[in-house]
Amino acid sequence: MESLISWLISLSDSQVRAFRHTATLAAMKLMTALVDVALLLSVNLDNTLRQYEIERSKGKDQRLNERLDALASKKMEMEDNTKDINIMLSYMFKSLFVHRYRDYVPEIRAVCIYEIGVWMKKFPNHFLDDSYLKYIGWTLNDKVCDVRLKCLQALLPLYDKEEIARKMELFTNKFKNRIVQMVLDKDSEVAVQAIKLIIQIQKHHSDVLSDKDCESIYELVFVSNRGVAQAAGEFLNERLFQVDESIEYRSRRGKKLSPHTPLMRDLVQFFIESEFHEHATYLVDSLIDSHLMMKDWECMTDLLLEEPGPDEETLENRQETSLIEIMTCCVKQSVTGEPPICRETGTKRTNKEIKFLHEDKVKITEHFIPVLPQLLDLYKTDAEKIANLMQIPQYFDLSLFTQSGDDLERLLRLINEIVDIHSDSEVLKACAKSYKYLYDDDYQFSRNVWLNKSQLIDMLVNKYKTSSENFSLNPQGPESSLIGLLIKKLSIFFSCHDLTSWNIWKDLFDKFIHSVTQENAEMPIEATKYALEACYFGLMWELNLIHTNKSVMTKAAFRKRLGSYINELRSIIGSRRNDELREEFFNDYGDIIKFTLGKLREINKVICAKTMAKALSTLFLELRSLAQNNPNAYTKQDANFGQLKDLAKRFSLSFGLDHQKNREAIAAFHREGIHFTFNTIENPDDPLGPPPNIPFLEIISEFSNKLLKQDKKIV
């Protein structure tokens, strides 16, 4: 054994990386095996000592001297063996681990840290000491994420056991700051493990964590990485949202409230103080799988409907708004199971998960069918609250409405009332979508839904016609603002429902779109804006009817109507300066084009390359038309040509560094560019003269460094 250990130690110091790595791995595994032996010896020694003490405590008449001598001999042998094992472990640790845990090869460092974690977990009596723990603590600062991850994974099992965690107080105090910093690690898995470790520290050493330490973790529930956010949610639960079952909560009228009631209040206050008021869906996604209060619907609605008990304060308006937003997000995610944008996992749901989603949908429907009308009636004048509450019917299980006709009737009546009194776009969209969801031919109550919706549309159309006539008589009168609101409501409902049978398309088009292009025509901007939208949706519905052979309009008539609409759009765009709009939406437009190019590159690199060549050649033709009288054209002094070269360079960089992977695309780009450069059609007056697009070769050259040697001959 001594020879093997010496050989491994010598080999682990080799300049050859493969030898050093192999020897270190073998030595670490050997030490792990020795730890197992030492642990077994320790257990057997304890048993032998106990037997020895029992035998020695017996009276002289009962004591067997031979057995006592045998146990004493066995005890001494085991003590000697344990001493030898400990000497070997200490020698190997000092001669090998101490040098290799900081090896410049990260894989070797990772092996060392992983194994010392195993030793500490298996044999804490020997290795759970600050003289060993410090090596893990120091390595928390390693520059390689995999090594840092191994450190955290080595520490987690130690903090899981309370008796071990209590012995690590000195280590915790010394390295706590570094562990807290690691929750912001650039590697998401390291950040997740760091948060999980802090959760264990919170359980056993809660006094070590300051409020500032905790606040840095609280904010992570809003980050885009789902693993980090959910780990932060678990910490939030451990720190702030612990249920106290011993206290009973009641409303003013004596109704027993959920034990989650104070926690829900705290959650609402946390959301308000976080100042991420547009990201409730991210907060919900971080907590919904780890805390039951996120699906305690009765707790949420009782806070809104019940008067608080004597020791509780009434929710403020802002708190009510935040609670309703959180509740709506919880309903949506409980029914759909869809995380917010940028947190998608891409994994397919199992049958078990689908079953749970359906069960949640049933529970939500059963609770909100009678309660939602109460909430809508209570907050019907508050646009922000209603915009969220009106989304809830879109997640109902409609089959349960067959037994709740009165509740449905009340809900539909409230939707009509809300549409009538509100002008907020989000409220109107939510109402339109709810009507669309509730109307389902598979259920008998669909006729009731259709009748209520028709009554609503009739009311809006009649109001529109009356207001339109008044506006025609007096364009400067009070009807100018009302007509815009009514067209807005019709437009929003047109986006979800087919209003073709109400025959308002032509009236909207003639009065509020066609009239805009006439001289001296003054139209409310809002009216024209929403008339354009309403007519667009009307065209889409008509096209759908044509495709399904249900339209009374001929295809020729539809084409004529579509042509008229497009011509008016061109006239409106041409009659207004759009410099401000161009500047306002330039960044958004650029992001859309950049994203589109990225998707095109993923789908088909060759087509993407040809599209780039076409775009560059089109811009070059525009420059050529401006360069006829420019002596500096196509030179360094030509700023426009320089910008075109920069664009080509950015296009080239978008293909990355893997030339082999992009081989076909780069070759296709060169072929397209060369065909454009030497196309004789570009110079019809002198077909035998020099091609006018020769300078375009300089644009192509920005891609030439990515062209493989074997392709250069072909191109």
Output the pLDDT for position 629: 67
For residues 535, 536, 539, 540, the Cα torsion angle rounded to the nearest 10 degrees is: -140
Residues 287-304, mean pLDDT to the nearest whole number: 94
CA end-to-end span of the chain: 66
Is the pLDDT score of 67 beyond 70?
A: no
pLDDT band (50, 70, 90) for residue 710:
confident
Output the pLDDT for position 68: 67
For 183, 406, 621, 677, the CA distances from 685, given in Å and listed in that order, are 70, 82, 17, 16
Domain range list for the chain: 2-180, 596-714
The string of pLDDT tens digits covering residues 514-550 is 887 665 567 788 899 999 999 999 999 999 999 988 8
Name the DSSP class of 292: G
Work out whether the CA dihedral 55, 56, 57, 58 comes out positive or negative.
Answer: positive
Give me the amino acid identity at 616.
Answer: L
Work out whether the CA dihedral 536, 540, 541, 543 comes out positive or negative.
Answer: positive
Q: Count CB-CB contacts under 10 A for residue 551.
A: 17
Q: What percent of the chain stands above pLDDT 90?
A: 48
The string of pLDDT tens digits covering residues 296-326 is 999 999 999 998 887 788 899 999 999 999 9
Secondary structure (DSSP) of 592-643? HHHHHHHHHHHH-HHHHHHHHHHHHHHHHHHHHHH-TT-TTTTSTT-HHHHH
Tokens for 362, please give them. 């049933």
Burial of 45 (0-12, 13-18, 19+ CB in 10 A): middle
The string of pLDDT tens digits covering residues 476-498 is 777 788 999 999 999 999 999 99
Output the pLDDT for position 375: 96
Nearest to 111 by CA among 120, 121, 99, 101: 101
Is the pLDDT score of 639 beyond 70?
A: yes
The string of pLDDT tens digits covering residues 166-188 is 888 899 999 999 999 999 999 99
Work out whether the CA dihedral 263, 266, 268, 274 comes out positive or negative.
Answer: negative
257 DSSP β-pair partners? 249
Is the pLDDT score of 61 beyond 70?
A: no
The string of pLDDT tens digits covering residues 216-233 is 899 999 999 999 999 999
Output the pLDDT for position 673: 84
Question: What gap in Å lies between CA 153 and CA 150, rounded to an integer?
Answer: 5
Is this prediction's pTM over 0.85? no
Residues 6+ apart with CB under 8 A from 191: 182, 183, 184, 185, 220, 225, 228, 231
Name the DSSP class of 257: E
CB of 487 closer than 8 Å to CB of 531: yes
Output the pLDDT for position 247: 82
Output the pLDDT for position 684: 57
Give me the amino acid identity at 169.
Answer: E
Question: What gap in Å lies between CA 77 and CA 138, rounded to an integer?
Answer: 38
Burial of 696 (0-12, 13-18, 19+ CB in 10 A): buried
The string of pLDDT tens digits covering residues 1-46 is 778 888 888 888 888 889 999 999 999 999 999 988 888 888 787 7
Nearest to 394 by CA among 496, 544, 541, 288: 496
Give me the amino acid identity at 63.
Answer: R
Question: What gap in Å lies between CA 392 and CA 434, rounded to an integer?
Answer: 8
Nearest to 293 by CA among 250, 249, 260, 322: 260
Mean predicted lDDT score pLDDT of the chain: 87
Helices (H), 275-314: 280-287, 297-305
The string of pLDDT tens digits covering residues 321-371 is 999 999 999 999 999 999 998 888 778 889 999 999 999 999 999 999 999
Question: What gap in Å lies between CA 205 and CA 169, rounded to an integer?
Answer: 7
Q: CA gyration radius for the chain?
A: 37
Tokens for 20, please give them. 């050093």
Nearest to 605 by CA among 701, 697, 669: 669
Is the pLDDT score of 51 beyond 90?
A: no
Q: Count CB-CB contacts under 10 A for residue 282.
A: 22
Question: What gap in Å lies between CA 298 and CA 285, rounded to an integer?
Answer: 20
Question: What gap in Å lies between CA 259 and CA 246, rounded to an integer?
Answer: 9
Helices (H), 140-187: 145-160, 162-165, 169-181
Please tell me whether residue 249 adopts helix, strand or coil conformation: strand
Output the pLDDT for position 136: 94
Name the DSSP class of 314: P
The string of pLDDT tens digits covering residues 85-113 is 888 888 888 888 999 999 989 999 999 99
Secondary structure (DSSP) of 451-462? HHHHHHHHHHHH
Q: How many Å separate Cα 175 from the centre of its chain?
A: 31
Is the pLDDT score of 503 beyond 60?
A: yes
Nearest to 240 by CA among 281, 270, 283: 270
Q: Count CB-CB contacts under 10 A for residue 19.
A: 14
What's the half-sphere exposure (Cβ side, CA atoms, 13 Å) at 689?
A: 8
Nearest to 136 by CA among 168, 90, 92: 168
Nearest to 88 by CA among 157, 27, 13: 27
Give me the numbers of helices (H) and strands (E) for the chain, helices first please: 33, 2
Nearest to 407 by CA among 354, 368, 459: 368
Output the pLDDT for position 55: 63
Question: What gap in Å lies between CA 605 and CA 363, rounded to an integer?
Answer: 48
Residues 6+ apart with CB under 8 A from 405: 445, 448
CB of 21 closer than 8 Å to CB of 108: yes
Output the pLDDT for position 15: 87
Tokens for 595, please give them. 């994203």
Question: What gap in Å lies between CA 568 and CA 381, rounded to an integer?
Answer: 38
Residues 536-565, mean pLDDT to the nearest whole number: 91
What's the half-sphere exposure (Cβ side, CA atoms, 13 Å) at 107?
A: 8
Work out whether the CA dihedral 78, 80, 81, 87 comes out positive or negative.
Answer: positive
Is the pLDDT score of 426 beyond 80?
A: yes
Output the pLDDT for position 382: 95
More confidently predicted of 404 and 169: 169
